[in-house]
Amino acid sequence: MDDLLRRTEALLRRVAAVEIEAASGGAGDVDLLLAQWDRLRTAIAPLDPADLERTRDEVDALLVALDAMAQRLESLRALKQSLSGES
């Protein structure tokens, strides 16, 4: 995440330099981008990377459990189908 932040900040610095050089009508779009970046940075600032990683691990474990449950349900469906004589 730190790499993404560094790269984004470098891009924003370059955009600002281009805006200064251009000094023409596109300033509104760059200002909007900068405002969105500030909102994004404010929104993700309180997120702890360790908490995000733990949450991702929990979601991954849940997906494994759901896959196992789907396999068991498929086995039960096949068993029921064979016991009822359906093909």
List, for residues 6-46, the tens digit of each pLDDT value: 888 888 788 777 777 665 655 556 677 778 889 988 988 89
Average pLDDT on 45-63 reads 92
Q: How confident is the model at residue 66 (pLDDT cuts 50, 70, 90)?
A: very high
Q: Phi-psi category of 47—alpha, beta or left, where left has phi over 0 and alpha has psi -120 to 50?
A: beta
Residues 16 and 37: beta-carbon distance below 8 Å: no
d(C-alpha 57, C-alpha 50), whole Å: 11
Which amino acid is located at 86 in the chain?
E
pTM here is 0.49
Backbone angles phi, psi at 7, to 5 degrees: -65, -40
Q: Phi-psi category of 49—alpha, beta or left, where left has phi over 0 and alpha has psi -120 to 50?
A: alpha
